[in-house]
């Protein structure tokens, strides 16, 4: 068992701390007293509400209450940790580069207050070389005569499944150029996971691995989204293509779902950051740059399907958006595609009625979009906003509640238009919608709702592929 301190009480720091507390003693440090109080109240069973939403997190904190607590007192946080994880935010700047000011601030605090030998690991997603920068800051500001090794241990968590991702990871990547420190980190993780799961490596390789993994997953999504646009053009069904491609074991089915684009706190930030990093080193990552362009194009492609129906001026129109979080079961709206679509509709004069299964997502939408006040209405029941005044329904994320539409209720809508931003409706339901007078638009499977234009394809081939 080790004493662990985690800097940062966000979507990474708190779940990670709760997981480590299964076998280690954990202190979560954050200067925000409100977040600290939220965590401690949950640990002590005084509250069942956290400042972040993550399935199973509250239960895990309470289960391991004897091994974890939170503090905003830096001296308490750095009393005697053997391993420190820096899990603070690295929001992108206007050029797409990770902002390292919070990481550097954490390093300086560690240097000025630590009193014992320890290992410091960056868990935040940072550009390669950041661990060396952290090491320099610590050495330049160190007050006490202690040995501090610095390395990297990037997180690979998906919001909504972070607790399960931590419990059963595909692999745990960590790097340190100090072999003794690397061995100590290995021993730390062996309390929680089998040796086959561990991937020790050099510091900079660990930092690159994080970006490489997220960029490759994002590339799979954008690759399939580009095919989805072709599928709509020729009458193919992208869901069928996904199944055929995904069953190739060399490729795999995960992250091949076509949709209106990826969002969230990781893929947009990390793809931009590593692409910018490559440009700065004059080693451009052209495939990743294309991935970013396709992602932006896909969102516009989906939104244009709505505009094509009604025209560019949406004044007097009312739309439902089911699912405003960037994906199901999260309150995180960072780079959320349904938020982008909702804003585009409101910018064009429409009123938007928003429902999400996570109450915090609705609260965050209000807090982050005050400039749209009066242009949207929030709802806490899935069908309560359905009326004769509604012109269309947009499915924003993949929650299972949105997969089985109640056609009888939706027929009240004056505009019988369904826009499936996540391609989650099955073919049978789509055909039932069409039979009930609805139109259906998606990303790459519009053909389910219409006949394939065979003669158009034949003429195209004759004109373009014959000598």
Q: For residue 338, is it left (φ>0), alpha (ψ between -120 and 50) or beta?
A: alpha
The CA distance from 206 to 439, in Å, is 48
In sequence order, the β-bridge partners of residue 378 are 354
DSSP string, 362-400: HHHHHHH-GGGTTSEEEESSTTTT-STT--EEEE-S--G
CB 416 within 8 A of CB 345: no
In sequence order, the β-bridge partners of residue 351 are 318
Residue 131 Cα distances to 93, 187, 200, 238, 363, angstroms? 20, 21, 15, 42, 36
**Both tokens of residue 201?**
């490596």
The CA distance from 163 to 57, in Å, is 7
The CA distance from 350 to 316, in Å, is 6
Instruction: For residue 413, count other CB atoms closer than 10 A to its CB.
Output: 20
Residues annotated as catalytic are 266
Dihedral sign of CA atoms 41, 44, 48, 53 in order: positive
Report the DSSP pairing between strands 439-441 and 198-201: unpaired
Instruction: For residue 244, count other CB atoms closer than 10 A to its CB.
Output: 9
Collapse the DSSP code of 50 into the 3-class scheme (helix H, G, I; strand E, B; otherwise coil) and give the result.
coil
DSSP string, 333-355: -TT-HHHHHHHHHHHTT-EEEEE
Rg (CA), the chain: 25
HEC-encoded secondary structure of 83-125: EEEECCCCCECCCCCECCHHHHHHHHHHHHHCCCCEEEEECCC
Please list, residue by residue across 10-32, b when 16 or more beta carbons sit within 10 angstroms of its beta carbon and e when fewer do: bbbbbbbbbbbbbbbbbbbbbee
CB 44 within 8 A of CB 25: no
CB 269 within 8 A of CB 295: no
Instruction: For residue 106, count other CB atoms closer than 10 A to its CB.
Output: 25
Collapse the DSSP code of 320 into the 3-class scheme (helix H, G, I; strand E, B; otherwise coil) and give the result.
strand
The CA distance from 10 to 35, in Å, is 9
């Amino acid at each position: 068992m080790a004493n662990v301190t985690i800097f940062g009480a966000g979507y990474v720091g708190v779940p990670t701390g709760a997981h480590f507390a299964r076998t280690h003693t954990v202190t979560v440090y954050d200067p925000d007293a409100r977040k600290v109080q939220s965590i401690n109240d949950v640990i002590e069973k005084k509250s069942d509400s956290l400042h972040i939403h993550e399935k199973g997190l509250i239960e895990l904190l309470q289960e391991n209450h004897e091994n974890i607590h939170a503090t905003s007192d830096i001296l308490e946080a750095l009393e005697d940790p053997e391993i420190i994880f820096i899990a603070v935010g690295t929001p992108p700047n206007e050029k797409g580069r990770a902002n390292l000011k919070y990481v550097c601030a954490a390093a300086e605090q560690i240097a000025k207050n630590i009193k014992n030998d320890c290992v410091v690991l960056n868990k935040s997603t940072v550009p390669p070389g950041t661990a060396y920068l952290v090491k320099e800051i610590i050495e330049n500001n160190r007050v006490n005569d202690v040995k501090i090794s610095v390395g990297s241990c990037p997180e690979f968590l998906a919001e909504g499944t972070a607790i399960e991702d931590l419990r059963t990871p595909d692999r745990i990547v960590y790097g340190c150029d100090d072999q003794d420190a690397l061995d100590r980190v290995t021993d730390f993780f062996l309390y929680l996971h089998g040796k086959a799961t561990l991937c020790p490596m050099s510091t900079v390789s660990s930092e690159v691995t994080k970006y490489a993994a997220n960029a490759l997953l994002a590339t799979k999504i954008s690759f399939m989204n580009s095919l989805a646009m072709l599928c709509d053009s020729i009458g193919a069904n992208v869901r069928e293509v996904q199944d055929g491609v995904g069953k190739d074991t060399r490729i795999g089915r995960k992250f091949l779902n076509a949709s209106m684009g990826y969002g969230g706190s990781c893929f947009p930030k990390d793809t931009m950051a590593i692409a910018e990093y490559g440009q700065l080193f004059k080693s451009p990552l052209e495939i990743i740059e294309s991935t970013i362009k396709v992602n932006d194009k896909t969102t516009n492609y989906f939104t244009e399907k709505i505009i094509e129906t009604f025209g560019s001026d949406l004044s007097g129109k009312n739309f439902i958006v089911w699912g405003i979080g960037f994906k199901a079961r999260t309150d995180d709206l960072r780079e959320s595609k349904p938020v982008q679509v909702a804003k585009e509709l409101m910018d064009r004069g429409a009123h938007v009625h928003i429902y999400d299964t996570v109450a915090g997502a609705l609260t965050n939408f209000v807090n982050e979009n005050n400039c749209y006040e009066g242009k949207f209405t929030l709802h806490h029941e899935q069908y309560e906003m359905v009326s004769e005044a509604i012109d269309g329904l947009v499915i924003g994320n993949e929650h299972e509640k949105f997969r089985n539409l109640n056609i009888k209720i939706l027929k009240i809508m004056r505009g019988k238009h369904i826009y499936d931003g996540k391609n989650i409706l099955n073919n049978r339901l789509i055909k039932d919608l069409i039979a009930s007078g609805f139109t259906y638009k998606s990303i790459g499977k519009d053909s389910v709702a219409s006949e394939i234009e065979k003669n158009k394809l034949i003429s195209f081939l004759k004109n373009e592929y014959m000598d």
